[in-house]
Amino acid sequence: MSSTTAPSDITKWSSTDGEFRRQVSSFRSAVSSAADAEFPAEAGRYHLYVSLACPWAHRTLIVRQLKGLQNIIGLSVVSYLMGPNGWKFASPDEVPGATLDEINGAEYIREVYFKAEPNYAARFTVPVLWDKKKQTIVNNESSEIIRMFNTAFDDLVEPEYRGITFYPEDMRTQIDEINEWIYDTVNNGVYKSGFATAQGPYERHCRALFESLDRIEKILSENEFLLGSRLTEADLRLFTTIVRFDPVYHGHFKCNIKQIATGYPNILRWTREVYQLPGIAGTVNMEHIKKHYYMSHTQINPTQVVPLNNGPDLSSPEVRPAKRPY
């Protein structure tokens, strides 16, 4: 196996100035319903690699579920522990919830990257969307994978899922606008706070994060979902960060000005509402989430002790909307 990224680089998260900078994803092609597409939509052709711990991969898992794509797009799940060689596959006996890689027979996700691109020199991230026919990675950027799942397979899904969209045309400007600041200050903001290795960047990103949470709290005090009465992609993208907030980011990433459970009643109500939608609870694996962060980032938590709290009970009280909100 050729390797241009030494295993030791995996745990080097922040730059010399103490700032964490997320890399730009490398594989940016798209599956499309067009017959002459480079990657045409076909049942059984594409395979999704995820971690149940990762908030970015979690988005793709949710949209795969809500769009009824489980029988159309296969799934492999890495173990929660990310060691010096990155994400590793494990049998469900070894790690409940994980799988082996039945498609490429890889031990580590990095092998899938090298199979697609022998000279690959960036980070070995999940999610990854793999094309079994062309034997390559189509895309490793979650925000783009969820857009493909949203529409590209519509001719193949069961009729009840056809036409469901989390990115409706008349709301795209609003969705793009809200995604932008929520990505920067919340989704990525928790990482910028937690991976900072200097006081200044930590405080700056942590304060910006809580300013955004206050802003979201206000929005959700006036609206059922981020953009009104309809659940969109913006809600799904935020949900995967919020569900990890109290159990992980509050402690492990030092995002501790407030907690969702006690400081943000409207965000909590909204989190429960999203969690209680059919199919969502099954995508949330608190065991993988907590163990991943607390045991993999040994630069932050060298003892690898995992705290007990799982965050607020999201299954109760029941706040499920009367009719499907999307």
**Sole binder of ligand GSH in the list 54, 152, 236, 248 (CB under 6 A):** 54
Which residue type does 45 have?
Answer: R
What is the nearest approach in angstroms of ligand GSH to the Cβ of residue 225?
21
Q: Is 98 in the site for ligand GSH (CB under 6 A)?
A: no
**Sole binder of ligand GSH in the list 27, 39, 46, 56 (CB under 6 A):** 56
Cβ neighbours for 258, distance < 8 A, ≥ 6 positions apart: 210, 213, 264
CB atoms within 10 A of CB 317: 8
Catalytic, out of 49, 108, 113, 191: 191
Distance between CA atoms of residues 131 and 249, nearest Å: 34
Q: Is 62 in the site for ligand GSH (CB under 6 A)?
A: no
Burial class (CB in 10 A: 0-12, 13-18, 19+), 219: middle
Q: Is 194 in the site for ligand GSH (CB under 6 A)?
A: no
Q: Is 141 in the site for ligand GSH (CB under 6 A)?
A: yes
**Sole binder of ligand GSH in the list 33, 97, 107, 123 (CB under 6 A):** 123
141 is in an annotated binding site: yes
- Contact window for ligand GSH (CB under 6 A) among 37-45, 134-142, 206-214, 219-227: 134-142
Distance between CA atoms of residues 165 and 174, nearest Å: 15
Q: Is 147 in the site for ligand GSH (CB under 6 A)?
A: no
What is the nearest approach in angstroms of ligand GSH to the Cβ of residue 52?
11
Nearest by Cα to 57 from 136, 122, 149: 149
Q: Write a three-state SS string for 119-142.
A: CCCCCCCCCEEEECCCCEEEECCH
Q: Is residue 123 within 8 Å of residue 140, measured between CB atoms?
A: no
Q: Is 142 in the site for ligand GSH (CB under 6 A)?
A: yes
| Comparison of 272 and 297: residue with beta carbon closer to ligand GSH | 297
Nearest by Cα to 51 from 40, 59, 43, 63: 59
Q: Is 132 in the site for ligand GSH (CB under 6 A)?
A: no
What is the nearest approach in angstroms of ligand GSH to the Cβ of residue 85?
10
* Residues acting as catalytic residues: 54, 191
> Residue numbers of the site for ligand GSH (CB under 6 A)?
10, 25, 54, 56, 86, 123-127, 140-143
